[in-house]
Amino acid sequence: MRQLKGKAKKETSKDKKERKQAMQEARQQVATVVLPTLAVVVLLIVVLSTSKTCNNFYKPETRISC
């Protein structure tokens, strides 16, 4: 059947496999790039906020009791 100009073409099985593979790669990238980066940012915020609020943070001879 002839395809009209304004209509979107039907998705073939090859297109569907390519789309699923692209989605799988995107999920893997989230797990390998985004989550570790987010964890580092959160850890940095915690360390900086602790160091700003606790006076004895960098003195090894005193205990940290904030």
Place of tokens 């390519």: 18
Instruction: Kindly tell me if the per-residue pLDDT of 1 is higher than 60.
Output: no
pLDDT score recorded for residue 10? 81
SS (H, E, C) 1-25: CCCCCCCCCCCCHHHHHHHHHHHHH
pLDDT score recorded for residue 40? 96
Place of tokens 């699923």: 20
The model's pLDDT over 16-60, given as tens digits with 9 standing for 90+, comes to 999 999 999 998 888 888 889 999 999 999 988 888 887 665 566
DSSP state of 50: H
pLDDT score recorded for residue 51? 80
Q: Whole-angstrom Cα distance, residue 28 to residue 20?
A: 13
